[in-house]
Amino acid sequence: MPKIFGHELPTQVKVGFPLAGAKEPDDPVRVGIGTAKFGLKVNFFNNQHKGVYVSLYPQIEFTVPGTHAVEKGLANPGQTLILPLLVQKEFKHITSLDTWRPWRRFASFQHLISNANACLL
């Protein structure tokens, strides 16, 4: 597990390659890999006594190179950066999970890198 300031952070890695399909009138069905997603979920606050957990779950959605998913109508062009904050509260018989989910779509990965560099300067 990764450590920050000497504390272990429970972490999950998620990679997804969904099967997608599209159908237009008078055209055959198109099937292939849709928008792929890679994410890293970091649970940075755990209070088991009170049943409260808080996680940050940054993800990037992108088109897999070579699949021609955009041309087939199976995925949107560009990449999407998603930065959800997950707050979970456990009660006696039910668990509540709330998500705050800002996102940003980029036309290209180079644009994403340029914006990240601008923010770091």
Question: How large is the C-alpha radius of gyration of the chain?
Answer: 19
Instruction: State the residue for tokens 């808080």.
Output: 54
- In this prediction, what percent of the chain has a pLDDT beyond 70? 75
3-state secondary structure 56-93: ECCEEEEECCCCCCCCCCCCCCCEEEECCEEEEEECCC
User: Is there a contact between 103 and 85 (Cβ–Cβ < 8 Å)?
Assistant: no
Q: Name the pLDDT band for 4 (thresholds 50, 70, 90).
A: low
Domain tally, the chain = 1
Residues 6+ apart with CB under 8 A from 97: 86, 87, 88
SS3 of the chain: helix, strand, coil, percent, to 5: 10, 50, 40
DSSP character at residue 89: E
How far apart, in whole angstroms, are the C-alpha atoms of residue 109 and residue 78?
7
Average the pLDDT over each of 14-18, 40-44, 70-74, 107-111 and give the range with the smallest value: 107-111
In the predicted structure, residue 106 carries a pLDDT above the cut 80: no
Q: Which amino acid is at 25?
A: P
- The pLDDT score that the predictor gives to residue 105 is 57
Containing structural domain, residue 90? 3-120
Q: Which helix (H) or strand (E) holds 69?
A: none
In the predicted structure, residue 9 carries a pLDDT above the cut 80: no
pLDDT in tens, 14-48: 898 888 888 788 888 888 888 899 998 888 888 88
For residue 102, what are its two tokens?
Answer: 């800002």
pTM summary value: 0.62
For residue 66, what are its two tokens?
Answer: 């070579």
3-state secondary structure of 3: strand
